[in-house]
Structure 1
């Protein structure tokens, strides 16, 4: 059984290479085949636990459109997930599936993403994460500025994710999950690499 600040379980559930291949095959007009690879970083990377994340189209694994470090901080009744990007993303691409390259990453390469933290709460059977409210996590896409309206739910075997960008003025959906959430299953687990100090 888990609890609201159980970072260890959350890390173990998230540490995997996820795929929504089944969903993409069933409904190709609305869902591309996407891979989300999250791999534990060494215990001394930042104070507390961290995952390295690469998100890419399956046919372009070498060119991920999202590369992040997620920093897990237990709070009183939830877990705060800080989001970081890399100053030079090209220099780190591929580290999710290459443990030798992953070991060379340094926190000095990171830039904090203001307004993009997520609050993760225990539901009784899953963890549910949502971007902290306030329209502060800004994303430019196709020349237009939007704010990130992301949320996810994770269990031991499944990741359900809404990945959306909304208009800053009208809240209209500009990009992302139009036909419902992305539904990912684990292709490979990295939970054996999780070390929580």
Structure 2
């Protein structure tokens, strides 16, 4: 595979229902058993592919959280792809759309807030006719958003193969610069249960 993959390839790898059951069983003190949904949505189709994402603790599957939009565009200067994150102006209006995807038919760009510092550069590795997409934050950027009346900072990142998704997302304390939740000891390792 000498040529770079198309947007459709990274979208295929990212889209699906995922679960980290094995990791949660092996190390329950550090990894909550989560279900994650990443569904394609028909926004920004002129130059990108877009996904709705949310997750839920398996013990509280009816209470998903971290609703967000990931907009994937083709090559920029130092990467093969770029991922721009958006927040919902009213996250509760979209709660549960991972499982009840018909809700997403009403989604428009006006219902989103661009998160300027929440951008990832995505590079591609290939081996044995398979790709690995590795997404890292742009140097010196800070991803922040307002949640429940407070400004929250997160460090984002992921790796994706055809059947796995590793999330490096973690909350950052703005004073100490230390991680406070999420992938503190390493990534959340999800296995794809269903392809969307």
- Shorter-chain TM-score category? 0.7 to 0.9
2:115–2:145 contact (8 Å) kept in structure 1: no
Structure 1 contact 135–168 (Cα < 8 Å) conserved: no
In structure 2, do the counterparts of structure 1 residues 133 and 168 end up closer, same or farther at CA, with 3 Å as the change threshold? farther
Q: Deviations over 1:23-79 (max 9, x none)?
A: 11111111101111001112xx22321111112212223322200111111124421
Question: For the aligned residues, what is the CA RMSD?
Answer: 2.4
**Residue 137 (str. 1) matches residue 143 (str. 2):** yes
Which position in structure 1 is the counterpart of 2:14? Answer: 14
Is 1:182 matched up with 2:188?
Answer: yes
Name whichever of 127-136 and 85-94 sits farther off: 127-136
Which ranges of structure 1 fall in alignment gaps of 5 or more residues? Answer: 191-197
Separation in 2, partners of 1:3, 1:60: 43
Taking structure 1 as the reference length, the TM-score comes to 0.84
Which whole-Å deviations, capped at 9, do the CAs of 1:119-169 have from their partners, x for residues lacking one? Answer: 111022300001222242126789986632222111001111212233445
Instruction: Give the structure 2 partner of residue 159 of structure 1.
Output: 165
Give the number of the structure whose residues are more often strand, by fraction: 2
Q: Which has the higher contact order (CA 8 A, sep 6+)?
A: 1
Q: TM-score, normalised by structure 2?
A: 0.85
Q: How many residues align?
A: 188
Q: Is the 8 A contact 2:65 2:95 kept in 1?
A: no
Structure 1 residues 164, 2: closer, same or farther in 2, change over 3 A? Answer: farther
Distance 1:104 1:152 in 2: 28
- Unmatched runs of 5 consecutive residues or more in structure 2: none
- Give the conservation status (yes or no) of the 8 Å contact 1:116–1:137: yes
CA distance in 2, matches of 1:86, 1:144: 15
CA distance in 2 between counterparts of 1:2 and 1:86 reads 38
**2:64 alignment counterpart:** 64
Partner residue, 2:80: 78
